[in-house]
A and B are shown apart, each in its own frame.
Chain A
């Protein structure tokens, strides 16, 4: 596929956003993933989310680790700055980057091998720090690039392509994130763009660590009968808890976004944007960590996949809030401000006598 160059010609009537950019301006290189890969649908949803939010492409820092999922950072927003780092270590690179320049939009794309095995510790600690990043975990239960080994998210009893069943319990990133105190926890499905796009938008505007675990089937190694991460299984066991509409601060609330029934809850985000939850599950409270945890666990016990924005807390400070950093990027502070100068040094030297 790498030999195919994507045509850059745009249809003149393509819809433009507030920056006068079309969706095409948010695209990346041609995907080299397998035809039908769930990850490509996530990429499409990401393109939509960034485009709809009118985010300037060059103000996006997109980071990833290693694996099929991590390749996807090359497939959206060519004019963003990308960093394809090392296996499982994207959170550390994102942490340092964000520490240096908090003004950019950070998105990390990872997978279940990258985040739940080799990089489990890094993901956990990024959550603890409430690093401000949209963290998309493309979850397919399998190692694709090394041809079909189970990953740590594979369910007990889920069958590999060659037939053997997984015997170890899965690590559920959603339950884990809830336990660790994550401030934004969502799950979606690559096959449900209508649900995924608002989740990604809300995650991007969340002032902290926004986990979006996306069930993203691997068509080559994990889409067969007996797999619990296949398209079919996911569609059949899909439990949409709380679909959301995301309303950015700067946009008037359009009719379609506005609350229409009594079963809508709204959460105001740190920048003034709003998330509206249409409550499908009775008395589900997306601001209660305990309720979210119980609900997700119970759904899993029933063999169902709870999806939607499962938990949100807009109150906790992000890494810079905890640090008490200046509001602007450290990279913009002039050297003259950073260096105390020789006079101060000489005063300090007296303390070393």
Chain B
């Protein structure tokens, strides 16, 4: 169990006690030591008083997946002692607040127990309930600094940055850090067999969550209108967008060059995005599954009336309210064909915050180019957890792809403008923006319309428009982001996965390779599926589809869209609401290769 920069630990606390900032501090300190690190916040749908956990994985090789069980568990919540102790690896360590005795019945004889009287020390040192509670968190950070050999200079400089202007807070934090650090040093052999050692692997990286990254992508892509209804786990996307806009989007007089509307519900938010898209603005709405359900009607309108609109779905655990603070990939089928009637929508599947940033931009380009609703399908794990990513860069030569828009000059050249006439193979018809020129006027409607934009109840005229939309979506399938494909010599089968499964799947494949099992890998990044996806499906007889939902939705989509026989697609699914773990991938793949049952 002795390993440097390769272990994982978990901190169990009570939510609302200020542990989030202590945990953030820990993670950032490790990152600043140049060591690759990833954090998963497993939190309740609650404001105060329920159990919450923070999992930190340190991986010198840069692996990002969740890997329970843990080398060390910091148990600060008496209410979850039993469960927390069970999640420690054999030979692992438990650190707990020894101010109060731990029930011996919880303990195991295959772990080492480290008791630190955090509460007692903080009660003796600090005054007032709030400060004592807050500083207990900082004190366990100090103890961990000793046990894991976190660079104290790094911690000190971070506290200085954070509290530099508030001297009394800075002093309290220093004091609390020392309480934990010194007690651990004096009473236990520090560091533990697994611990940290400074590296140089994070220099060109940042720690960012996917919601902030997506919001940044919206700002850089030129989005001006955001409409939303608060919903976990998508809320911070719009909050970040607002903060970035306040920073970057005010004119010399302080006037806002953006408009964010907090709508009365998700349904209205979708309508606002469509209204703004009709006017020619880049507009978006962030939401989660329940919001997508409500937006269905409007999405059908945007599809049929051909209005660009961008949606971010930060997926959470469904159905219904489900588990709002847990992750899942269970909105795939709903989004693909959202709304009544024959519809199909563009989807982009980022795997990490970096892709949230770039795919936000891609989504606006695709939505405008194909004049259709476009969804960036994220999940809670990507959206709300801090990921280590390559520093973002922006190509200053980028200009938005506005698609076929006839401006005043272009309108002068046409004899008459007809909204839904497409003159080339991609099925896209030129549009005009309201208010630009009388010649460009047309009537946008969700009712049956001809290619000229006029109302119809005639079968042939209706079909003509609907058939063109099929051609348009087929063209879009080749324009959405191509899949990530990694082929391995001698591969006997292929793995197909999506979004945030990436980290666990790639690590799992590395482990299987060590066992002599070679597999090809494809992560779909866009929908509808284009040629590269179909070509990959021709490589093998059998594939294993790995995804985070109960019903194998990605597998169903591939079966439906690619005409592939269902028995060729085996399935590994994790849908308990926690991010996919590497062990689940390895065990799942091995199980399928040994001929487990195929889902119906």
Contacts and interface: CB of A to CB of B under 8 A. Distances in A.
A59 B257 contact: no
A325 B255 contact: yes
Contacts of B485: none
Interface in A243-273: none
B415 interface: no
Contact of B256 (A84, A85, A323, A352): A323
Interface residues of A, number: 62
Contacts of A352: 206-208
Given A101-B435, A349-B391, 5 more contacts: A83-B278, A84-B443, A86-B298, A99-B272, A339-B222
A236 interface: no
Contact of A344 (B206, B248, B274, B441): B248
Interface stretch (B53-61, B110-118, B279-287): B279-287
Interface stretch (A214-222, A288-296, A309-317, A327-335): A327-335
A125 B259 contact: no
B443 A58 contact: no
Interface in B217-258: 219-222, 224-225, 227, 248-249, 251, 254-258
Contacts of A324: 254-256
A194 interface: no
Contacts of A287: none
Given A85-B271, A89-B271, A99 B257 contact: no
Contact of B222 (A74, A329, A338, A346): A338
Contacts of A140: none
Contacts, number: 215
A81 B393 contact: no
Which of B221, B249, B400 gathers the greatest number of chain A CB atoms within 10 Å? B249
Interface string A114-129: 0000000110110001
Nearest to B386: A352
Contact of A100 (B225, B267, B399, B445): B225
Which of B205, B220, B443 gathers the greatest number of chain A CB atoms within 10 Å? B443
Given A74-B443, A95-B275, A330-B258, A349 B298 contact: no
Interface residues of B, number: 71
Contacts of B447: 84
A96 interface: yes
B194 interface: no
Contacts of A319: 259, 261
A248 to B, nearest CB: 20
10 contacts: A56-B438, A57-B438, A79-B441, A93-B275, A104-B434, A122-B264, A326-B257, A339-B222, A352-B207, A352-B208
Contacts of B272: 92-93, 95-96, 99
A334 to B, nearest CB: 9
A338 B270 CA distance: 23
Contacts of B258: 330
A330 B394 contact: no
A340 interface: yes
Which of B263, B272, B273 gathers the greatest number of chain A CB atoms within 10 Å? B272
B255 A326 contact: yes
Which of A80, A89, A352 gathers the greatest number of chain B CB atoms within 10 Å? A352
Given A58-B437, A330-B259, A337-B257, A342 B394 contact: yes
A86 B249 CA distance: 32
B240 to A, nearest CB: 11
A74 B456 CA distance: 13
B276 A82 contact: no
A327 B447 CA distance: 34
Nearest to B277: A96
Contact of B206 (A92, A94, A125, A349): A349
B220 A345 contact: yes
B107 interface: no
A85 B395 CA distance: 37
A109 interface: no
Nearest to A334: B222
A325 B281 CA distance: 14
A353 interface: yes
Nearest to A351: B206
Contact of A342 (B269, B278, B393, B455): B393
A125 B263 contact: yes
Interface string B368-402: 00000000000000000000000111111011100
B256 A100 contact: no
B198 interface: no
Interface string B83-103: 000000000000000000000
Interface in A55-71: 56-59, 61, 63
A257 B283 CA distance: 44
B433 interface: yes
Query: Shortest 6 CB-CB distances between A and B: which pairs?
Result: A92-B271, A96-B275, A96-B272, A100-B281, A81-B434, A97-B275
A81 B32 CA distance: 55
A86 B275 contact: no
Contact of B434 (A61, A74, A122): A61
A58 B417 CA distance: 14
Contacts of B446: 84-86
Which of A80, A319, A339 gathers the greatest number of chain B CB atoms within 10 Å? A339
Contact of B279 (A91, A101, A323, A337): A101
Contacts of B261: 95-96, 99, 129, 319
B265 A86 contact: no
B472 to A, nearest CB: 21
B254 to A, nearest CB: 7
A345 B393 contact: yes
A121 B264 contact: yes
B31 interface: yes
A344 to B, nearest CB: 7
B392 A330 contact: no
B298 A89 contact: yes
B598 interface: no
A93 B438 contact: no
Contacts of B249: 338
B281 A101 contact: yes
Interface in B274-304: 274-281, 283, 297-298, 301
A121 B229 CA distance: 14
A78 interface: yes
A335 B445 contact: no
B433 A327 contact: no
A59 B208 CA distance: 44
Contacts of B255: 324-327
B61 to A, nearest CB: 21
Nearest to A324: B256
B268 interface: yes
A283 B306 CA distance: 53
B237 to A, nearest CB: 16
Given A86-B298, A100-B225, A330-B257, A122 B268 contact: yes
Contacts of A353: 31-32, 205-207
A339 B206 CA distance: 21
Which of A84, A100, A342 gathers the greatest number of chain B CB atoms within 10 Å? A100
A192 interface: no
Contacts of A91: 268, 271
Nearest to A32: B455
